[in-house]
Structure formats: C-alpha cells, structure tokens
Amino acid sequence: MKVDKGRFLILKDVKETLETETLGACVALAAIDRENKIAGLWVFVLPAEKILNPKVGGVSETYFAAEGIDSFLKALKEEGADLKKTDFFAAGGARFLEAPTVFDLGGLNISMLRKLLKDRGLALKGEECGKPFPCRIIVDVSEGLVTVKISGEEEKTW
C-alpha cells in the first residue's frame, strides 16, 4: 500500500506492505510494534506549518512534522501499539549537494523529527537520512521488517 506525502497509514496483523514513493527532502517515519504486530508509515513534507505561506490553505496537519506527529502516534496507540515497545525508523531528508545550506529542507525535516521524538521520550532505532540522493522505504508488517532502498546504493533492512 502506497503512503502519499502528507499522509500516514497504520496496519495491524496483515500480510501487507506499506511503502513510499521516492523521497527527496520529505521524511518517512516507520513504526513497528513487533509484539502486537502493528506497523505505521507517515510521510511528512515540511518541518512546521509556519514555513508555509499563510495564504496557502487546506493543507492537512500531517503534511508537517510538528503538527502531525501526535496524530500519527495517537493512531498507532488506538490500533493497539505500545509506543515504548515500538521501534521507529526514518528515511529521506535528502540533502542535495548543489543546494545552498539555507535551503536544506531535508536537514530541517530530520532535525525536527529527532527533536519531536525526543520531546515525547522516543528515539529512532535506525535512520537513513541526509544522503545526496532520493530513497524509498518499505515496511513489511507480517515480517516486522523495514527496508530502505537508496538510489545508487544497496538497500538496508532493520
């Protein structure tokens, strides 16, 4: 099942996979509670809503890390996940070498995610972020595996 940018999906005890489209500066946060067989995948685009022009309306809170994280975590808990036993993994946040530092949206996204998780007593168990090229992330719910496929490199599985 594809997870679109600015959205999340939660699955429980099914033989399905969750996956992203190619991620550039966007960041995907995968969550797996292997004991309860619950997995979620969220793809956010911007670190916080304040970055967006106020004239732009109708954008879901899950488009933004700061505004969407609690909705994602709440949905995991409502499905039965124990957040203290849930492993979190991140991918994306590409940092393109030719872009000036001031436009490092990928770096801002991953920094915001780390801060938001830390503020909630959570942490990433693994990450593949900040590479100078895009990637994809695939979550296999039944096997409890998270795989990152990085353009130009081999994949990595947790």
CATH number at residue 100: 3.30.1330.200
- The range of the structural domain enclosing residue 81 comes to 2-157
Give the rounded distance of the alpha carbon of 19 from its chain centre.
Answer: 10
pLDDT at residue 102, rounded to an integer: 58
Kindly state the DSSP code that residue 63 receives in the 8-state scheme: G
pLDDT at residue 137, rounded to an integer: 96
Give the rounded distance of the alpha carbon of 24 from its chain centre.
Answer: 12
Tell me the C-alpha distance between 119 and 113, whole Å: 10
pLDDT at residue 55, rounded to an integer: 61
pLDDT at residue 99, rounded to an integer: 53
* CA terminus-to-terminus distance, the chain: 19
For 103-156, what is each residue's pLDDT tens digit? 788 999 999 999 999 999 999 999 999 888 889 999 998 899 999 998 867 688
For 43-100, what is each residue's pLDDT tens digit? 999 999 887 666 666 789 999 999 999 999 999 999 999 999 999 999 999 887 665 5
pLDDT over 60 (residue 18): yes
pLDDT over 60 (residue 14): yes
Q: Work out how many domains the chain is built from and give that number.
A: 1
Cβ-based neighbours of 74, under 8 Å, separated by 6 or more: none
